[in-house]
Amino acid sequence: MKYKIVEADENWFRENINCQYACPVNTPASHYIERIQEENYDGALVLNYMANIFPHILGRVCMHPCEDACRRGKIDEPISICSLKRAAADYANDRFPKRVPVIKKTGKRIAIIGAGPAGLAAAYDLAMMGHSVTIFEATPVLGGMLRLGIPEYRLPRRTIELEVEKIMRLGIEVRLSQRLGRDFNLDDLTNEGFKAIFIAIGAHKSVNIGLSGQEHDDVFGGIDFLLNVNLGHDVKLGKKVIVVGGGNVALDVARTALRVPQKSEEGGTEADATRKSTGQGVREIHVICLESRKEMPASEVEIVEAEKEGLILHPSRGPKRIVEENGKVVGLETLDVESVFDSSGRFNPSFFEGSESTISSDSVILAVGQTTDVSWLEGHPDIELTRRRTIKVDSETLATTRPGVFAGGDIAHGPKNAIEAIASGRKAARAIDQFVNVSKERKYDYFFMEKLPVRKTLDYDAIPRQEQDEIPMEKRWGFKEEIELGFSRQIALEEAERCLRCHFNIFIDQKCVLCGGCIDICPHDCIMMVSRDKVESEGMFEGSMPDDWDAVMAINEEKCIRCGLCVKRCPVSAIKMQGFSYTEAIS
């Protein structure tokens, strides 16, 4: 039975369903994991599509902030939410919905500049709202940094193409190889009849750190390197490559460099067969970074995979200069790092004097950051920039200082990951819809459903975190072989079973007779009886405690594993477990 109660609201949702609130687009993780545990992959995928637009993509490359907030992590390790998202996409019968919804058209034209995750997410939502959307993209392909920045061994191009096709079926117009500031400007779009413009240009420029010798032909910017490789351009690297940087992009660069055919002495290339026959990369790759191994900003998974593939890490070292001899790069001189941040917590590296040492190499790639190109702003004084050289926007609406122009993604917030870019695009779409359509704000009804979670394994709290299958090392050296293979159906079920179901909660009503049976049976000592004196002295009870109460029962939500034993044990049915849910209100 489902019934509405006053106490169930967004605040309850934010305080109790940690993983969902941690997601920038509020993907209902525990809800879709419950569907997987029921082997309802179609239902799990539908719940994903409602929130994050690109479950097939994000199931592979999301930075999963939800896992950092997962309560299971307080017991052992968090649920592998990202991998389960991929499982929902992999095993649903209708993996890429082919049906085009019937949408009532508004007649309003919206221009989107940039076809990365922010632009595509905004395009999808605005098209679903009935607006006529046109995307302007500077490159010859759709996908932005999903397509141009993430290596294919992590994110297959066909996966991106299918997700994009799903959006294009909504009737969105696309104009490729159209660069803002070169082929058109904002006034052109206004004159063409667009009622609103969303600028979602990605961070496609490598940061220049002013390193001596970096202008050499054998020195590359990290983003420039990835863009050229992913666009199929011929990039020549030597036998020894140094990558400077400790983030995920730097490791993407290093692992991609391992797969790029190297220059031979005759100026040609060696075939990929060499890599496969040796069982390892034919190139020696060194990665240097300012941070210590524990402090590296790259995810631990990426670091481990890089080490598996033979990359040599040099933490706590910084670049001093590119070393050249006879017009060729022969190495990188480095210094040992004393500290990365100063006493105020600002990024301000300091080095040990006299600690210079040189790592030999014939190619250097500087993957120390990325930024956006704002040169097109010349002639647009009505659009303000921040001190960080990003477009100044309203924090709630993402409106710029030029009426009718909105900005999101990297150009408004600096380089972010895909899920944050998608959240930015969806936020902009809502604001643009209100701007051009004066639509009603979305509102939600919140509900509790009285039931117990269905469990297939009694000791689900003892199941260890499951790992994805990977292709063997000897098959890794091409660009197109996807390394992570996802979960099998059985492993997905086991991982889903580990979920504590945070959208279920225990409630104790006034029928409680303080018998303590629930305390005795609770396997994790989550329930306690608290005397009136302690409640009043520590302010544990909201409002005034009834005069005839001598004690109350308290539950530690952080420790509760939602086993339901207390519900079954209570002799007077004072304890209930209720599942939280919500739906869009019908006005």
Residues 78-112 have pLDDT tens digits of 999 999 999 999 999 887 777 777 788 999 999 99
Where is average pLDDT lowest: 213-217, 333-337, 439-443, 579-583? Answer: 439-443
Each residue of 264-293: pLDDT tens digit?
Answer: 444 443 434 444 433 334 579 999 999 999
Highest mean pLDDT among 26-40, 253-267, 440-454, 496-510: 26-40
Please compute the mean of the pLDDT values over residues 479-497 and round it to a whole number: 90
3-state SS, residue 47: helix
Tell me, yes or no, whether 240 and 352 share the same domain: yes
- In-domain check, residue 4: no
Helix %, strand %, coil % of the chain (to 5): 30, 20, 45
Question: Of 147, 7, 74, nearest to 498 (Cα)?
Answer: 74
- Asked if residue 355 and residue 256 are part of one domain, the reply reads yes
Angle at 89 between CA 145 and CA 490, to 5 degrees: 130
Instruction: For residues 93 and 220, state if they share a domain.
Output: no
What percentage of residues in the chain have a pLDDT greater than 90? 51
Q: Are residues 493 and 516 in the same domain?
A: no
The pLDDT of residue 399? 96
* 408 HSE (CA, 13 A, CB side): 34
Q: Would strands 527-531 and 551-555 be described as parallel, antiparallel, or unpaired? A: antiparallel
Same-domain status, 292 and 404:
no
Our count of domains for the chain comes to 4
Q: What is the pLDDT of residue 16?
A: 63
**CATH classification at residue 253:** 3.50.50.60
Q: Look at strands 205-206 and 196-199 and give their pairing.
A: unpaired
3-state secondary structure of 59: helix
The residue type found at 420 is: E
pLDDT at 445 over 80: no
Split at pLDDT 50, 70, 90, the class of 20 is confident
One domain for residues 579 and 567: yes
pTM (two decimals): 0.86
Is position 481 within any domain? no
Same domain, yes or no: 65 and 173:
no
Q: What is the pLDDT of residue 280?
A: 39
* Residue 533 region by backbone torsions, left for phi larger than 0, else alpha for psi between -120 and 50, else beta: alpha
In which domain, by residue range, is 216 found?
205-371
CA end-to-end distance (rounded Å), the chain: 23
Does residue 478 form part of some domain? Answer: no
Is residue 477 in some structural domain?
no
> For helices 81-91 and 29-37, what crossing angle results, to 10°?
50
Is 421 a domain residue? yes
The confidence score (pLDDT) of residue 4 equals 34
Residue 2 belongs to some domain of the structure: no
Residue 165 lies in a domain: yes
Same structural domain, 92 and 115: no
Residue 174: pLDDT over 60:
yes
Q: Is residue 219 part of a domain?
A: yes
SS3 state of residue 446: strand
Examine the pLDDT at 585 and tell me if it is beyond 80: no
What CATH code is carried by the domain that includes residue 518? Answer: 3.30.70.20
**Two structure tokens written together for 581:** 């849910």
